[in-house]
Structure 1
Amino acid sequence: MPVTTVRWPDYFDEQAYVIEAKGWFADVLVEWDGRRYRPVFYDPVRLGQEITDELERGGAFFREPNLVVIDRVTREHMEAAIGALADGGFPLVPEPDRG
């Protein structure tokens, strides 16, 4: 099985309570099987707010690439989701190669 490397931003631990309260986080980089991924984590309440806001602004749809919905946006929940994604072959869109 490919190795999964998770790179958290330096500020994460200091700001973890703010990130959880916001219910959204997209600044973690995951390396899996030689590719890089940036999952976008939402809790269900925040996701519902984002969808409603977009549609009320006249958007025809809501789309978020690499969307992962978890109960709470904490390191523990994100790491569990990343592990499950890795077990499932990491079915997200990888970052473009910059080579």
Structure 2
Amino acid sequence: MTVRDAGWSLLLADEMDDGDWALTESRGVLLNAQLERDGRRFPVVFYDPDRIHNAATIGTASGDPYYRRNVILLPAVTRTAVEAAVEKLGKAGELDWLLS
């Protein structure tokens, strides 16, 4: 998926069909995605609010900080929401800080 106006592409580790996206939505997280622009790639993780809360709760239970780089939080992790987020953030220049 490419956001042509902003030059950003969403790259997934594997081809995903409707069943894969349904599983991703039920899990509330999309791992192993990358954003690409001008040949540079950046890892990104998409979470829904419930999943990030659970992950952070488990991650901090031992007293350690919870950290995930390049997190994008969505109401639901669907194909439509992921693609729309990349398009909106790309067009708004919100992803351009990755290039600095």
Counterpart position of 2:88: 84
Q: How does 1:1-99 map to 2 (within 5 A)?
A: 1-13=5-17, 14-59=19-64, 61-89=65-93, 90-91=95-96, 93=98
Identity of aligned residues (%): 28
- Letter of the 1:65 partner, please give it: R
Residues 28-63 of structure 1: per-residue CA shift (max 9 Å, x gap): 22212442122100000000001111111331x211
TM-align CA RMSD: 2.1
CA contact (8 A) 2:12 2:33 kept: yes
Report how far residue 87 of structure 1 moved.
1.9
- Superposition TM-score, scaled by structure 2 size: 0.77
Q: How many equivalent residue pairs?
A: 93
- Superposition TM-score, scaled by structure 1 size: 0.77
Task: Considering fraction of residues, name the structure with more strand.
Answer: 2
Between the aligned partners of 1:2 and 1:11, the Cα distance in structure 2 is 23
Show structure 1 runs of 5+ residues with no match.
Answer: 95-99
CA contact (8 A) 2:74 2:81 kept: yes
Show structure 2 runs of 5+ residues with no match.
Answer: none
Between the aligned partners of 1:15 and 1:22, the Cα distance in structure 2 is 11
